Chain A
Amino acid sequence: MSVRPDVMTESVVDRPAPKRPYLKGRWMDLGERVRPLQGLLRWRSFQFLAILPNLFLFYFFILAALWGTPVGNRNIMIVFVWILWWFILITLWVPLAGRLWCTMCPIPALGEWLQRLRLVTVRFASKAKGFKNVLFGLNRKWPRALDNIWLQNLLFLTLATFSALLVTRPIVSAFVLGGMIVLALGLALVFRHRVFCRYLCPVSGFLGLYAMTSSVALRSRDWDVCVRCPTKGCMLGSENGWGCPWMVYMGKLDRSNYCGLCFECLKSCPNDNIGLFVRPFGVTETRILHLDEAYKAFIMLVLAAVYSVTLLGPWGTFKDWANVTETGDWRGFLAYAALVWGACLVAFPAMYGLLVKVSQWASRWRGRRVLVPASASANGAGEPDFRTLFLRFSYPLVPLGLLAWIAFSLPLFFVNGSYIVSVLSDPLGWGWDLLGTAHVPWKPLIPEWVPVLQAGVLLGGLAVALRTGWAIAWELWRDPRRARWGLAPMAGLWLMVTVGFLWLFTG
């Protein structure tokens, strides 16, 4: 394979071309370029120190939710978690740094520390159930039948159904966060590694999905080195680092979905063969491989629309249905829940499947009218089946969905951002004035520009989706005419989705 020399460092170019088939575009090895960064990531205390401030903050938020005012916009739990943290996570962290939040997430930390019986250092044993690290607990293996993200999908949908409560009631947020911590802790004592993060955490589910398209990825520098490596330290652990808590083997890793960026592999790799790479946003080389991942993309996109309607829209009835504890309208709430679940799990996937079928017919029909170029047959581009098309064409929903979420989050931050300033001075709603800003009145920031920003973000998402879709169609059919015809129905849907969001946001 070819490696673009302009983005590789001298030392890499001098060596024989390493085997890394995922490095097709412009990738830069940050670790090679910025050596202190590599040193920082390999420092054993790094993750503990990254988690510690967030643990402090989340603990503070939970205490604030328990002891502070139940009024959402005066309690730091709601204002910092659902306005500030969410905004930073979705607009900066995920697109630029993928799963970097998982590096510093405090939710599974207690469980992981208990499982390891260490906070910073490593427990090494020459042999411990096939691994090189000793773990406390039952060390069970996660059931194979659940080795997917369906549970994450269902948990996220469940939380989303109660989102009106979750994002307005501090105590509900505290129970959810606290529940996640307890669940992660319990699972860490039964199963080995971070099964909570990998299979259950609702946040991890969408971080994994959107990390596929983000600008940062941890990869092996050369797969051949991994294949020849006798110790497989990244997977099994070593005296310098724990075996991958996410159960990922770096020698095969070519997608970012399930790499939690804990950087243990950087420490445990005996060959210095793991690098943190920077790549352009919206990469086209990755793909969705399983139906559970495709459904994650559908769920996320539909929920962005549902939230836009319930939290930003003018439809009072729909809001009342969602906000059941205020209205007591349980029949309305059940209708709302049925609508949300039906749209996410049945209606949208069915519509998508139908369009994929149309796309298949269209490309076949066009294929009958043209000669398949010799290059296409030479490349082995056969007729893709429905399942392949369905999965491959679900990937463009990842950048489209991510940018729809960013567009949805913009007004939340710009309209409610002034609460952050006042809550900083009075985080529990106890009447404090720590910084003299407790009485700063609520004032939306640049409200007239928010729809413009949202429109720009949505159109950017459409552009990335179309570019990705074209790359997929080209790879599938290897013929420009068939690719165009095959892509057209899907592109039409992405356009409709974008127009729908534009209508929701700009009216």
Chain B
Amino acid sequence: MDSILQLMHGFTVALQPMNIMWVTIGGVLGTIIGMLPGLGPATGVAVLLPLTFSMGPVAALITMGGVYYGAMYGGSRASILLNTPGDGAAVAATFDGYPMTKQGRAEAALAISAIASFIGGVIATVFMVLVSVPVARFAIKFGAAEYFQLYVFALAATASMNKGNRVKGFIAMIIGLMIATIGIDAQSGVKRFTFGILELQSGIDFLIVIIAIFALGEVFKSFKNIREGKANIQKDFGKIWISRKEWKRSVLPILRSAPLGFFIGALPGAGGTMASLMSYNNERQLSKHPEEFGEGAIEGLAAPESANNAASVGAMIPMLTLGIPGSGTTAVMMGALMILGLKPGPLLFQQQPTIIWGLIASMFLGNIILAIVNIPLAGGLVRVLSVPPKILYPIVLGLSFVGAYAISYSVMDFYILLIFGVLGYLMGKAKIPTSPLILAVIVGNNMEQSFRRAFTISDGTLGIFFSSPICIVLFALTIISVGYPLVKSAILAAKNQS
């Protein structure tokens, strides 16, 4: 009951006219950025972050929520109309969305994508209302040892999620942790790896690393495969809506995919890409006409869109309750919270209920507003896609630099931005995943400090890391997340041989 009362209060916050305006502006800007190939919601939120610096915490979070959802809608637009997904999570939308466009059913595709995203988002937000407070209450029991085990688990799960080469996932993780050790050590005051540079004493802000890897890295990549001239894109649409028959085919997949997306989104490291791909495969297996999948089956678009949006809500749970972001975008939002002077974690729910519930209420609102904006205005918004990327990418670069400056007011960050932009590009070239690095940069410092605190509490024995049931469960989860893929591939290899 308490949660529902709090949520009602959240709605009175979110429904203030200024906040409605911010969520709409954020949504439209996010949609535009999200439509650019290669630039997904994380980049969108990171690049537009400075817009929120002068706002109060509630308005800032609400605006970022708008950008987040807007970028996801925008990503779907580009997937459906152009076959160019903005990020991994939008890839599944191309499987059936683009064939639908080629068959002249772009209107239905755009409509179902907005409807499915809306329903998926709303269902997941309901789950969030139910789940977040119990999780936060549980997390209050965590001591230093538990937190250390939790960080290890989150990192190990993210690193071993890498599909190609798992060693590379762990390499990315270690490099990220190394970046986090730069700066003055909080416990002893020793300057570590600062190379005598004053600006490095406070460490490298992870937002700079994120902007560098997501935005600069993508711009660098774009030099190779940038589209020549204008994209041939449909701009005039008939009525953007779906038929009763199409709705009947989609409704169950949408409802099934939302909870799936939510739970996958809440797991560290999994995120929207996995949620949307899993729901797509699920629906193909459950479908009566699996042969239509990939040829423009409307449920093949509805399911991943619902799962993707639900995952984006699920990813907020570990970020808000534990301080561990579940996705790139929530990582940026966590950085923004910290700039606003808030510390994500279980206490946030007790200390800042207005902010948390205002954010949750604005998720409902953001979903409604974006569905309203995106259905009738689809024709106008996609015109952005006809601006050549050769103009848009330099602008993204310009926004990245002004964003970096606004975070710290220091030109030193321009150099850091360039260094990590190149690193992000090279990592992409060597097929080293960037998400373990980003998570490691974010949690690295806390991870080390909690390790040392636990060590001090226990007078230097390692037993403390296995002293509570929570520790043991988390340790077991770490072992499983690292060991399971190894066992699975070993079994597969054995099968292939026999």
Bound together? no
Q: Which residues of B does A touch, CB under 8 Å?
A: none
